Amino acid sequence: MKFFYPSIIVVLFLLSIFDLIVGLINDAVNFLNSAIGSKVASRRTIMFFASLGILLGAFLSSGMMEVARKGVFDPSYFYFSDIIFIFLAVMISDIILLDVFNTLGLPTSTTVSMVFCLLGGAFSIAVIKMTSPLNNEPFHHLTLYIKAEKTFTISIGIFLSIIISFTSGAFIHYFIRYFFSFEYESRLKNVGVIWTAISLSSMTYFLIVRGLHSTLQGFIDDQLTVFPLFNFLKKIHHNFFIFLLILFSTWTIIAKIFVSFGYNILKFVVLYGTFSLAMAFAGNDLVNFIGIPIAGIQSYNIWKEAGSPPAERFNMRNLSENVKVPSLVLIFAGMIMIFTLWFSKKTKNITRTEINLSRQNEGTEKFLSNSFSRAIVRFFLLLGNNFFKLFPKRLMVKIEKNFKQKKTEESIAFDLVRASANLTISSILISIATVKKLPLSTTFVTFMVSMGTSLSDRAWDRESAVYRVSGVLKVIRGWFLTGLIAFTMAGITAAFLYFFKAWALFFLIFLVLFVFYKSYKNYHKIQHKKIKEKKPFLGIVNMTLETTLNKTFDLLKPIFEYIESIYKNSIEGITKENLKTLQYSRNNFFLVKKSFAIIHNSLIRVIRKTKNNEPISGILYLHIYNKTKEIIESSDIITNNTLFHVINSHNPLKYKQKKNLLTLEHMMMEHFNIIKKITIDKNCKHIQFPCTIQNKIFKKIEEQMNQQVMGILHNKYGTKNTFLMLDLLLQSKKITKNIEDLILLYHDGLSHISSKKDTSFIAF
């Protein structure tokens, strides 16, 4: 046991590096999303401003370290061994939890994770100590170990930030958008200058002046209060309104100069806001990543200075004293976060949820609606209709003019006005909490501010509101689950360490390495799948008939290859009662359904891209979409019903039925080969019209249906058998008809390109 506690300190140090990495990956979404969503500059420029903010914020974060040491529990009621086990349990649980969320691409709150890990670890050790035969304390003594009031205040502060942030974002941005409108470029010379001055003045005061003042006030002792910078900041603090007026005037002049040269000043606001929000993040959240290891090292130093007494009997009351964190440690931590920001590919994986829920343009909705989200939307629609009746119609018409949206590029989720509002409001809220020493969740604040501003911008219209609300509710539910999971994981881990010590340490180190390995493998597996996903219509401005045909050929080729395989496996699986084959067929169907989502999601965008003088391309794409959708729906019924029949052990098909289905399958494969050949060759030169195989398939299906009817009359077939055969035959007929329609569409479409016929051939 001589090297046991030094080993834990080494492990804590290494874990702190891992925690910095996974924590930054999770929280990068908070300060990057507004700049990335608005495409204000290149990603490299955005990262540069964010890096500067992280470095300065890390230097100013020292005062927040007190939360990790004594914010949740009272160290004087714990021994050195207890404290070390709590800190180690917190780090292990926090890293595993954050890494799992990062791999799944789901942002969570590092603040909630850290606070509830601390609470869970301290609660577990406290209960063990209280219930031991030596102590046998009553349960109400738990309030001596755990700072219940402080913990409750922190928790309430964290979760109240959800309401405050959303309300602030929606209310403030409503007026910002009213004064700017969506045609904001024409108002930059007046409204833009004023908003720029307000935004930059607020961020400058709260992030630099008050943040620096708070840090110096905590760590400059009484003899050094003559330090010029501290005295200067102290005077500013006592002359708040005068200094803010000076800041506002200075930024107004600077903004006016830039606007007079034709520069879009909002770009600077967004980049400055990215810098300031990154600084606020580092200043507030650095404690989540290195606060625990630093507290562990300080605990070890206190124990060593006392002569290394028995760890199970050495009281840690000295940990309650204020200890200054070396600036070099903070800068080193900041550098690790900056390197992670630049080189980690996972940072790009987590930005999608917030941008998807707050984007202004149309696109795929990531979340499905539910009854709760529908009820919320209906309630606010009713409330809004009644509320706006109180105002004169002339006033409402005037307001609506400023909220009339303009067309934006598909790649831009929202404009610079909303991006600047997101950053300004979020920065100020987080900075106020930092100055007040409150561990605020930057994820909660930035996400909910973004949701509030998107609501004000009417991004949540009646087409998308239920899906967006459902998504927000699911994200919030995930945040609450984070607290519960963190509390449970840290509590179990701390108890495991308390009872098994060295063996538990070895096992947990192995577990962390295993989780990192698995997440690395899973992440690259997910990324590999994403690379294969194609978006062939992205970047095409005008769709012609030729372009539409070529792109749909590329899209449908892999889809029809899968559908052919699905049909073949389903028929062979049901005739042989092979459950494994049918399950494989069903899984392949889900892959086809996912691939078809590309066509589904691009339908409206592609039609809008068609040239006015050639609307036939949009019409053709609509019909191809419809026919393909019907084929996939038929495949859904076939794969589901065949699997359902076998998995429930229903009576197998009769010999004659199996023989008929295999004959039908052979004919269907011949028909599939025709459409596959067209998609590969991209022409119909060698295709005979009409296809004779279609009539043969229809004739065969009619024969089999007649046989099925006769079998029912003679009591040869049961109910399950009959319904399965009818489904297989009818869906095969539908697939055949839709394939033939697709072949005809391609044939006439290609003929139209060469001969420029009229569009009357599309008449399904």
Backbone angles phi, psi at 73, to 5 degrees: -135, 165
CA distance 646 to 639: 11
**C-alpha distance from residue 192 to each of 196, 266, 417, 457 (Å):** 6, 7, 9, 17
Could you tell me the CA-to-CA distances from 37 to 41, 419, 587, 677 in Å, in that order? 10, 8, 35, 42
pLDDT at residue number 253: 92
Read off the pLDDT of each residue in 212-219 and give the average, rounded to a whole number: 54
Which of left, alpha, beta for 106 (phi over 0: left; psi -120 to 50: alpha)?
beta
**Sequence-distant (≥ 6) Cβ neighbours of residue 143 within 8 angstroms:** none
Residue 525: per-residue pLDDT: 61
Non-local (6+) Cβ contacts of 276 within 8 A are 53, 203, 207, 423, 427
pLDDT for res 764: 47
Containing 381, the helix (H) or strand (E) segment is helix 371-388
Domain range list for the chain = 4-356+365-531, 545-761
188-193-198-201 Cα dihedral, nearest 10 degrees: 130
Give the number of other CB atoms < 10 A from CB of residue 418: 29
In this structure, are residues 85 and 495 in contact, taking their beta carbons and an 8 Å threshold? no
Q: Taking the alpha carbons of 708, 712, 717, 718 in that order, is the dihedral positive or negative?
A: positive
Architecture of the CATH domain 545-761: Up-down Bundle (1.20)
Give the pLDDT band (50/70/90) at residue 319. confident
**Amino acid, res. 669:** M
Q: How confident is the model at residue 223 (pLDDT cuts 50, 70, 90)?
A: very low
Q: How far is 158 from 145, CA to CA, in rounded Å? A: 22
Residue 352 binned pLDDT confidence (cut-offs 50, 70, 90): low
Exposure letters 298-308 (e unless 16+ CB within 10 A, then b): bbbebbeeeee
| Predicted local confidence at residue 495, as pLDDT | 93
pLDDT tens-place string over residues 598-608: 777 777 777 77
Mean pLDDT of the residues in the chain: 79
Q: CA–CA separation, 559 vs 596, rounded Å?
A: 8
DSSP SS3 for 543:
strand
Q: How far from 346 is each of 27, 240, 450, 453, 457, CA to CA, in Å?
A: 11, 41, 21, 26, 30
Lowest mean pLDDT: which of 524-528, 714-718, 744-748?
524-528
Is the confidence at residue 218, as pLDDT, over 90?
no
What pLDDT was estimated at residue 488?
A: 92
Q: Is the pLDDT of residue 213 over 70?
A: no
| Residue 146, strand partner residues | 73
Identify the pLDDT of residue 112.
80
Please tell me the predicted confidence (pLDDT) of residue 638.
92
Tokens, residue 512: 């962390």
Confidence of residue 513 (pLDDT cuts 50, 70, 90): confident
Q: pLDDT by residue (tens digit) across 91-106?
A: 899 888 888 777 766 6
Query: Which of 9-18, 375-384, 518-527 has the largest mean confidence?
Result: 9-18
Q: What's the pLDDT band for 229 if we cut at 50, 70, 90?
A: low
Please say whether the beta carbons of 628 and 559 come within 8 A: yes
The answer to whether 420 touches 171, Cβ cutoff 8 Å, is no
**pLDDT top residue among 394 and 546:** 394
- Average pLDDT value for residue range 330-350: 76
pLDDT band at 713 (very low <50, low <70, confident <90, very high): confident
Q: What is the pLDDT of residues 75-96, one digit of tens each?
A: 888 888 998 999 999 989 988 8
Condensed to tens digits (0 to 9), the pLDDT of residues 649-662 reads 888 888 888 888 89
State the average pLDDT over residues 723-750: 86
Q: Mean of the pLDDT values across residues 172-176?
A: 88
Does the pLDDT of residue 761 top 50, yes or no? Answer: no
Per-residue pLDDT band at 222 (split at 50, 70, 90): very low
What would the pLDDT profile of 408-447 be if each residue is shown by its tens digit? 555 577 778 888 888 888 878 877 776 666 666 777 888 8
Tell me how far apart the alpha carbons of residues 443 and 284 are, in angstroms, rounded to a whole number: 11
CA-wise closest residue to 91 among 70, 62, 127, 121: 121
pLDDT(530) > 90: no
Q: Which residues pair with 543 in a beta bridge?
A: 610
pLDDT at 532: 47
- Evaluate if residue 226 carries a pLDDT over 50: no
Q: What is the mean pLDDT of residues 258-273?
A: 88
Tokens 């003045």, located at residue? 201
pLDDT of residue 350: 57
Arithmetic mean of pLDDT, 306-321: 82
Query: Tokens in use for 550?
Result: 């070529």
Return phi, psi of residue 324, to 5°: -80, 135
Checking if the pLDDT of 29 tops 80, the result is no
pLDDT, position 72: 79
Mean pLDDT of 267-272: 90
Predicted confidence at residue 719, as pLDDT, reads 81
Per-residue b or e along 170-196, where b marks 16 or more CB atoms closer than 10 Å to that residue's CB: bebbbebbeebbbebeebbeebbbebb
pLDDT band at 679 (very low <50, low <70, confident <90, very high): confident
What pLDDT sits at residue 210?
55
Q: How far apart are CA 14 and CA 52, in angstroms?
A: 25
* Average pLDDT for 636-660: 88
Share of the chain above pLDDT 90, in %: 8
- In the chain the first and final C-alpha atoms are separated, in Å, by 82
pLDDT surpasses 80 at 519: no
Residue 225 confidence (pLDDT): 45
What is the per-residue DSSP string for 437-488? Answer: T----HHHHHHHHHHHHHHHTT-S-TTTHHHHHHHHHHHHHHHHHHHHHHHH
- Backbone φ and ψ for 610, nearest 5 degrees, come out as -70, 145
| Top-confidence residue, 545 or 47 | 47
Backbone φ/ψ region at 715: left (φ over 0), alpha (ψ -120 to 50), beta: left
pTM (two decimals): 0.72
Task: Please say if the pLDDT value at position 151 is more than 50.
Answer: yes
Percent of the chain topping pLDDT 70: 79
Task: Give me the residue label for tokens 């495949």.
Answer: 635
- Per-state percent for the chain, helix, strand, coil, to nearest 5: 80, 0, 20
Q: In the structure encoding, which two tokens stand for residue 4, read together? A: 């046991």
Give the pLDDT band (50/70/90) at residue 496. very high
